[in-house]
Amino acid sequence: PAGTGFAAGGDLLFAGVAMTQLAARFGTPCQLLDENEVRRRARAFQAALPEAEIAFAGKALPCRAVFRWLSAEGLSVDVCSAGELACALSAGVPAERILFHGNVKTAEDLKAAVSAGVGRIVLDSFDEIEQLGALAIAQPVLIRVIPDVDAHTHPAITTGTAGQKFGFPLGSVPRAVERVLAHPGLRLAGLHCHIGSQVRSVAAYEEAARRMSRLLRALPVRVEQLDLGGGFAAPYLPGERPFDLAGFVQRIRAAVNYECARPPKLTLEPGRSIVANAGVTLYRVITVKPGFVAVDGGMSDNPRPALYGARYTARLVGRHTRAKRRTMTVVGRHCEAGDILAADVQLPEDIHAGDLLAVPVTGAYHHALASNYNLVGRPPLIGVRDGEARTLVRRETEEDLLRRDVG
Ligand code: LLP
């Protein structure tokens, strides 16, 4: 990210602050987030598609500060639980700029969404049409459609193909539309789809945009909105290309304009692509064994390698060394062989206990996916901007961990 680079003595700067200083002040493991980089990426989406609504997918990094920054930049926020909704509301995100998602919305979720007055609720099933309809009065809704487009990403984060659990299959959309239009509790504002996450294929989005536009054109009423979801890939390893946002914009605009005489207002829901590359996690090396470097964090702060086979790099911070590079695997402290943070990375062979390691691209789905496995407290989230660092979410203590255990 910007403001990141080399400093004296092998140290690295993060948003203008030396990583060794950040580790000394906040402890390790510790998740760093570059505020300016988050804002810059939000603005890049707005600049690429100024006519669209950009809604940050809150699940990627649900915390008040991030919601506040992005709301101040003019973004909407997409939430998918009463918890994320509460976080967005307490960050001051206006309710009308909140979209509520999810394939399972409990009665509590729906009540919270309706009583907060969220701008749009994204309907996912026939049951939900009735459940929400009974609670609401003219609630603006989008209907989530499975466009049956393969985004060519990891199976666990593929959502646009027929036969998975989210949304309405194409064939059932007319019936869902009819039911929503007939329901006094609901007002049809548009259609939604989300084809997957860490998607690199612009062609997949183009196909989804085309199919969704055709559906929109065939509706018995005119609706104002087409939400094409998120999923834009972030580069994790050196040499990986960033998502082709300019190409994407050109092709979805063309598809929508070609299919619709009066094009709808577009919404995009980027999560990862706004925050992933703005984050770095710092770890302390605890022990080194042949082929392994074991650190003080692990799958409790980053389960992504275990869940999706995700790859990361790692680099030594805070000292210069001329030692030869060796292929090593950075592993965590948890009691599983799958507790890997960065497989087969090049690290100096003199790496030793007490060294500091930085793992980049940890801004998305790290804080969000962290757990208390082995009753290890979750790391803090530290915001850094123009050489100033502050705690956004504090480290979890043993007291926090035991608080709910009332047996
Ligand atoms: N909109 C909807 C309806 C979604 O379900 C998601 C992500 C997004 C937008 C944002 O997708 P993004 O732009 O962040 O890719 N835990 C996984 C990712 C799960 C994504 C779930 N839905 C991971 O760590 O890779």
Average pLDDT on 125-137 reads: 97
Cα 189 to ligand 1 centroid, rounded to whole Å: 22
pLDDT of residue 5: 65
Cα 194 to ligand 1 centroid, rounded to whole Å: 9
Atom of ligand 1 nearest to the CA of 231: 15
317 and 10 Cβ atoms separated by less than 8 Å: yes
Q: Is 25 annotated as a binding residue?
A: no
% of residues, the chain, pLDDT over 70:
98
Instruction: Return the closest-CA partner of residue 275 out of 186, 369, 211.
Output: 369
Q: Is 178 annotated as a binding residue?
A: no
Q: Is the pLDDT of residue 324 over 90?
A: yes
Atom of ligand 1 nearest to the CA of 192: 3
Q: Go through the domains of the chain in sequence order and give each one's CATH number.
A: 5-33+276-403 (2.40.37.10), 36-274 (3.20.20.10)
pLDDT of residue 57: 98
Ligand 1: residues within 6 Å at CB?
57, 59-60, 78, 101, 157, 194, 197-198, 229-232, 269-273, 304, 308, 364-365, 369
Please report the ipTM that was assigned to this predicted complex. 0.99
The reply to whether omega before 220 is within 30° of 0 (cis) is no
Cα 402 to ligand 1 centroid, rounded to whole Å: 31
C-alpha distances in Å from residue 15, one per residue of 22, 23, 91, 324: 11, 14, 23, 29
314: which residues sit within 8 A by CB, 6+ positions away? 293, 330, 341, 342, 345, 347, 357, 358, 359
Q: Is 231 annotated as a binding residue?
A: yes
pLDDT of residue 2: 47
- Residue indicated by tokens 């994790």: 236
pLDDT of residue 6: 62
User: Is residue 397 very low, low, confident or very high in pLDDT (cuts 50, 70, 90)?
Assistant: very high
C-alpha span between 110 and 195 (Å, rounded): 24
pLDDT of residue 9: 64
Residue 333 has, within 13 A of its CA and on its CB side, a CA count of: 19
pLDDT tens track for 170-202: 999 999 999 999 999 999 999 999 999 999 999
Numbers of helices and strands, H then E, in the chain: 12, 21
Instruction: Return the closest-CA partner of residue 266 out of 201, 197, 216.
Output: 216
Average pLDDT on 312-332 reads: 96
Substitution candidate for ligand 1 out of 75, 154, 269 with most atoms within 8 A of CB: 269
Q: At 67, which amino acid appears?
A: F
C-alpha span between 394 and 375 (Å, rounded): 16
pLDDT tens track for 211-241: 999 999 999 999 999 999 999 999 999 999 9
Of the candidate ranges 7-21, 24-38, 57-71, 194-208, the one whose mean pLDDT is the lowest: 7-21
Whether residue 87 lies in the annotated active site = no
Substitution candidate for ligand 1 out of 197, 205, 248, 281 with most atoms within 8 A of CB: 197
pLDDT of residue 161: 82
Radius of gyration of the chain (CA): 22
User: Looking at per-residue confidence, does 159 or 25 come out higher?
Assistant: 25
User: Is residue 85 very low, low, confident or very high in pLDDT (cuts 50, 70, 90)?
Assistant: very high
Cα 242 to ligand 1 centroid, rounded to whole Å: 17
Q: Is 130 annotated as a binding residue?
A: no
pLDDT of residue 154: 82
